[in-house]
A and B are shown apart, each in its own frame.
Chain A
Amino acid sequence: MSLNFFRRVAFGLSPSDKKPDDPLPWALNQLNTVPEFLWPGSIPTEKELRKKYGEWVYGDREVLRKKFKNDKNEYKKAKDDLRLKTGERYFELNEHAIRHYQTKYSQQPVFERFWLFWGNHFAISEKDFLAEFSTGPYQREIIRPNMVKTFEDMVQSVTTSWCMIHHLDNSESVGPNSRRGLESRDTINENHARELLELHTVSPSAGYTQEDVIQLAYIMTGWGHKWSRKNLETGDVWFDQEKHQKGDKQVLGVKYKNDAKRELAKVIHDLATHPVCIEFVSTKLCRHFITDEPTSEMINPVIEAWNKSNGNLIDIHKAVIKQAFKYNDTTHKFHPPEIWLMQLSRMFDLNIPLSSDRMNYNFKSRPTNRQGQLSWILREIGHSPYRAKQPNGWSDVEADWVSPELLLRRFWFASVELPRLVKSKNQLHDFILNCLKNNFDNYESMASLIHQFRFGTTEKDLGRKFGVICNLPGVLKV
């Protein structure tokens, strides 16, 4: 087996990782439990951060806009102060630190790769202030604990989470024949229903119609945030009977009797166990871990494991890893920028993220450049994880990640920025060679490419070494 398996299913081996004797069991054993977060700094809860979100939007919309309605400069200034006070500029940076600390040090890195996968499958794209306050904790508190439960459990939690509801506007959706609908003539917003079908569960290949979308939207009416004057849209999710469409509904040929809030769990059960859903999600998993165009031979064992375990994610994950192992030496997978960065960070023990002490924040001034560094790098290499442009998340195929500027950004990062992240104790050539040896079968040919710079330890020398080794075919791809 090639050493690239450790990058295919994880982030490669760090200088302190012991090389597993038996890679397959090593990987499989990481999937049974949810590892704790290792980040020693602050890990605020979703609820705490939602409160900050509320303070920010209330302060801006209800207070400052009115107070400074004639003076855009004073308004901008007051708004900036409020940003600092509520951590609007800070929490996303902290979330990135929590995330990258985890992928760098976790003893269950394979689990972490699945965590990244699900966070992107149930993606929260850039909208309002979700990236600033919500997407990080959503991935920590909603996605993560469900990874040892069933897929259906995951869909249930995600669909009724504040973050997804806000992301896809379900609070805006009103059944036209509900009490509220009759009163206000409001109607449904199909957004969430459509994505629940298209992106989260059965995909368009299930052949649902516009009427199915409408009917599912009816079922979902009433699920929304509890609005209040002070919290605005940041109140908890509840079921508001007054907005719920009355009557029976029918989705994909299945009839759902008028049953108020219980309708949603029933339809999610049917969607999450639908054969087309199982095939769609299994294919996506194989695409992520094996290759852009997985074959049915690759996917079928995952589908079998899914069926056999009734959608137990532990079993499904294990089946994926077995397939990734089986096809490790005969397939290639090009990794998107963030995973590439995480791998470089782990393999070469880079100074990412910043230490938790230095991530401490005073809520008075702008976060320092150092505090913002990791997030800045992610943005510059084109992969700010909570800021996908669309609800389908970040692409998982190579074609979307290979453009002139996106490749140049990787060359830039490896040759200019990365050298500044090399710890002083790691600057010696032998250290780099050792990292290469831990992670690459062809480390000798890699070593020969940087041999001429072996005596140099300046940033420029390091840039010449890392610039090329991080962008070799076998490093950009596994």
Chain B
Amino acid sequence: MNCTRRNFLIGGSTTLFLSGFFPKLSFASMQKKNLIIISLRGGMDGLTAVPVIGDKRLKKLRKKLILEDVLKLNSDFGLHPKLEIFHELWQNDKAAFVHATNIPYTGRSHFDGQNLMETGAHIPYKEKTGWLGRGLLASDIVGKGLAISLPMPLLLRGVPQNNNFFPSPDFVETKLIDQIYDEFKGDHNELIKSTLDTIRQRPLSMQIATDSDNRKKLALEAAKQLKDQSGPRVAVFELDGFDTHAAQGGVDGAHADELEEVNEIVKILYENLGQAFDNTLILTLTEFGRTIKQNGGYGTEHGYGSAILMAGGLLKKSQVYTDWPGLKKKELFEGRDLNSTIDSRAVYNSAMSMCFDKDPEFLRRKVFWGDDLPDLTEELFKI
């Protein structure tokens, strides 16, 4: 591809904003809508996941990271072969990508970047809650968050009564839980009491012991619960290992292994959500992309712009939504990274707006301090 800057962003959003926000009250919106975020820690390489086709410069700079057998998306972009479920869904308008996007953070530290991708803020460690938690709270959706991790991810903090699922290595007898519950009856500790209530009300399937390293099983359980009309509306998955400084490879390298894991989670969700998949939106989240140029270890360094992988029936259509900045040296961020032309928080804000049936303008103020984030709902999602 030899593309210049394109303006995909003009039109659409402003008209929606001016006409006010009126969520359609059709049957579909009566159905519970699920928002699923998969955190990709370490810096996901957007150019490996969704490579631009036929860019000579990229080929030259990444001699050892060339992807063969790329799955075709459109005339400009391909898809990494390990992301096959996305390709399958793409045929049915149930997968899409936002490219050349990132949170507004250019510091290249995992540490600060991951904090900011979760808080949605500008200064690392300043905010103690996550954008998703604040979005749920602002939308009065309480007790509907599910984290597939042992600690409560920062992303979900800020709203009370979230549940998490990360079973212990062995079984805890119900009798013991009941006994402890009884002993707490006379106690004044309301938090522990209500948490014990939550534990006792968990479905049987959540009470079993399983290997928490077994992501398949965890995703399966998450799908089961998200399918339930009275179950959680938001789920957060955690994946790490995207920091491929060496042997990143192409079709088969270290980055491919990570993408395969994303693919697996989405596949399990797709296969097990059934009809509920049509009322689901899955988005990825990462701290930054990676450098255009390969390094001495045939890996890549920390960069800036990346991509968001999206799946689910709530997408408007299959598309690579981008304001492509180009890969010529002067078009790169600081001469080395894919630039970010879309603040990824605009995508997340729009996604929450659609899934929580809230005015994007309202959420933008409540969750992102009124930062300048265009409403992309109409471009990206079914409304």
Contacts of B111 in A (CB 8 A): 125, 127
Contact with B along A381-398 (1 / 0, CB 8 A): 010000001111000001
On whether the beta carbons of B168 and A380 are closer than 8 Å, the reply is: yes
On whether the beta carbons of A409 and B150 are closer than 8 Å, the reply is yes
Residues of B within 8 A of A468 (CB): 176, 179-180, 183
A472 touches B164 (CB 8 A): no
Residues of chain A from 28 to 75 with CB closer than 8 A to chain B in the complex: 60-61, 64-66, 68-72, 75
Residue interface bits B79-112, CB-to-A below 8 A is 1, else 0: 0000000000000000000000000000001111
Are A404 and B192 touching (Cβ within 8 A)? no
> Which of A72, A195, A407, A464 contacts B125 (CB under 8 A)?
A195
Check if A405 sits within 8 Å of B246, measured CB to CB: no
Is A405 within 8 A of B164, CB to CB? yes
Measured CB to CB, the closest approach of chain A to B107, in angstroms, equals 8
A428 in contact (CB, < 8 A): no
Closest chain A residue, CB of each to CB of B128 = A392
A194 x B246 contact (CB < 8 A): no
Verify A72–B150 contact, CB threshold 8 A. no
Most buried by B among A65, A69, A75, A416: A69
Asked if A75 and B246 make an inter-chain contact with CB atoms under 8 angstroms apart, the answer reads yes
Q: Interface 1/0s, chain B 153-195, versus A by CB < 8 A?
A: 0100000001111111111110011011001100101011001
Task: State in angstroms the CA–CA spacing of A326 and B110 once bound together.
Answer: 45
What is the total number of residues of chain A having a CB less than 8 Å from a CB of chain B? 52
Flag if A390 contacts B115 (CB, 8 Å): yes
A405 touches B125 (CB 8 A): no
Q: Given the complex, which residues of B lie within 8 Å of A400, measured CB to CB?
A: 152
Complex Cα gap A299–B198 (Å): 35
Judge whether B150 and A405 touch: CB under 8 Å. yes
In the assembled complex, B11 has its CB within 8 A of some CB on chain A = no
Chain B residues, Cβ within 8 Å of A464 = 176
The answer to the question of B254 belonging to the interface, with a C-beta cut-off of 8 Å to chain A, is yes
| B297 contacts A415, C-beta separation under 8 Å | no
Decide: A473 and B184 in contact? CB cutoff 8 A: yes
Assuming A70-B247, A380-B169, is B180 touching A65 (CB within 8 A)?
no
Q: How far is the CA of A419 from the CA of B86 in the complex (A)?
A: 47
The yes or no answer to B231 lying at the interface (CB within 8 A) is no
Whether B253 is near chain A, meaning CB under 8 Å from some CB there, is: yes
Residues of A within 8 A of B20 (CB): none
Using a CB-CB cutoff of 8 Å, which residues 280-325 of chain B contact chain A? 296-299
Within 8 A of A (CB), among B249-267: 249, 252-254, 257
A125 to B168, CA, bound (A): 24
A75 CA / B257 CA spacing, docked (Å): 14
Using known A-B contacts A69-B64, A72-B252, A127-B111, determine if residue A403 contacts B176 with beta carbons closer than 8 Å: no
Within 8 A of A (CB), among B232-258: 245-247, 249, 252-254, 257
Rounded to whole angstroms, the CA-CA distance of A406 and B147 in the bound complex is 12
A69–B247 contact, CB under 8 A? Answer: yes
| Shortest Cβ gap from B52 to chain A (Å) | 24
Interface residues on B, range: 35 or more
**Distance in Å: Cβ of A465 to nearest Cβ of chain B:** 11
Set of chain A residues within 8 Å of B196, measured between Cβ atoms:
407
Q: Within the assembled complex, what's the spacing in Å between the Cα atoms of A364 and B189?
A: 49
Residue pair B170, A411 in contact (C-beta under 8 Å): no
A198–B163 Cα distance when bound, in Å, is 31
Residues of the B chain whose Cβ atoms lie less than 8 Å from the Cβ of A380: 168-169
Mark contacts of A235-276 with chain B using CB atoms, 8 A cut-off: 1 yes-contact digit, 0 otherwise.
000000000000000000000000000000000000000000
- Bound-state CA distance A334–B249 (Å) is 49
Contact B254 A408 (CB under 8 A): no
Q: Is the CB of A473 within 8 A of B187?
A: yes
A72 close to B296 (CB less than 8 A): no
Give CA–CA (A406, B196) in the complex, Å. Answer: 11
Choose among B154, B164, B202 the residue with the greatest number of A CB atoms under 10 Å from its CB. B164
Q: How far is the CA of A380 from the CA of B179 in the complex (A)?
A: 22
Distance of A404 Cα from B165 Cα, bound (Å): 8
* Known pairs A72-B247, A412-B170, A473-B184; A407 contacts B199 (CB<8 A): yes
Contact between chains at B64 and A70 (CB < 8 Å): yes
Is the Cβ of A404 less than 8 Å from the Cβ of B151? no
Contact A65-B163, Cβ < 8 Å, known A72-B254, A404-B199: no
Binary per-residue interface labels of chain B (321-348) against chain A in the complex, 1 for a CB within 8 Å, 0 otherwise: 0000000000000000000000000000
Q: Interface centre among B124, B151, B253, by most A CB within 10 Å?
A: B151
**Do B125 and A390 touch across chains, with their CB atoms under 8 A apart?**
yes
Contacts A390-B115, A405-B165; A72 near B253 (Cβ below 8 A): yes
Query: Inside 8 A of A411's CB, which chain B residues have their CB?
Result: 172, 176-177, 180
In the complex with contacts A69-B298, A71-B247, A471-B115 CB distance below 8 A: no
In the docked arrangement, what's the CA distance between A405 and B112, Å? 27
Chain A residues near B209 (CB-CB < 8 A): 412
Bound-state Cα–Cα, A137 to B253, Å: 36
Q: Bound state CA distance, A84 and B202, in angstroms?
A: 42
- Most chain-A CB neighbours within 10 Å: which of B110, B189, B202? B189
Residues on B with beta carbons closer than 8 Å to the beta carbon of A467 = 172-173, 176, 179
In the bound complex, residues from chain A placing their C-beta under 8 Å from that of B252 are 72
Q: Which of B109, B184, B297 contacts A66 (CB 8 A)?
A: B297
A1 within 8 A of B: no
Considering the chains assembled together, what is the distance between the CA atoms of A72 and B64 in angstroms? 12
How many angstroms between the C-alpha atoms of A125 and B166 in the bound complex? Answer: 22
Judging by beta carbons under 8 Å apart, are B150 and A382 in contact?
yes
Minimum Cβ distance to chain A for residue B131 (Å): 16
Looking at the assembled complex, report how far the CB atom of B325 sits from the nearest CB atom of chain A, in whole angstroms: 23
Instruction: Please tell me if the beta carbons of A191 and B112 are within 8 angstroms of each other in the complex.
Output: yes
Q: Across the interface, do A408 and B296 meet the contact criterion of CB distance under 8 Å?
A: no
A68, A72, A334, A449 interface centre (most CB from chain B within 10 Å)? A72
The reply to whether A65 and B115 form a contact with Cβ atoms under 8 Å apart is no
CB of B365, distance to nearest CB on chain A (Å): 22
Q: For the complex, is A402 an interface residue (Cβ under 8 Å from B)?
A: yes
A23, B373: Cα distance in complex, Å:
60
Give, as a whole number of angstroms, the nearest-CB distance from B256 to chain A: 9
A461 within 8 A of B: no
A91 CB to nearest B CB, Å: 21
- Give chain B nearest CB distance to A263 CB in angstroms: 24
Q: Shortest Cβ distance from B253 into chain A, in angstroms?
A: 5
| Interchain CA distance A71-B166 in the complex, whole Å | 34
Residues of B within 8 A of A392 (CB): 125
From B195, which residue of chain A is reached at the shortest CB distance?
Answer: A402
Q: How far is the CB of A135 from chain B (nearest CB, A)?
A: 15
- Give the distance in Å from the alpha carbon of A468 to the alpha carbon of B163 in the complex: 23
CB closest chain-B residue, reference A213: B123
Task: Give 19 A-B contacts (CB < 8 Å), ordered by A residue.
Answer: A65-B247, A125-B111, A195-B125, A380-B168, A382-B151, A389-B151, A404-B164, A404-B195, A408-B168, A409-B150, A411-B172, A411-B176, A416-B170, A416-B171, A449-B183, A467-B176, A473-B183, A473-B184, A477-B189
A residues in contact (CB < 8 Å) with B: 60-61, 64-66, 68-72, 75-76, 125, 127, 169, 191, 194-195, 198, 332, 334, 380, 382, 389-392, 398-400, 402-409, 411-412, 415-417, 449, 464, 467-468, 471-473, 476-477
Binding site for A on B (CB under 8 A): 64, 109-112, 115, 123-125, 150-152, 154, 162-173, 176-177, 179-180, 183-184, 187, 189, 191-192, 195-196, 198-199, 202, 209, 245-247, 249, 252-254, 257, 296-299
Closest 5 CB pairs of A and B: A65-B297, A412-B168, A65-B246, A69-B298, A72-B247
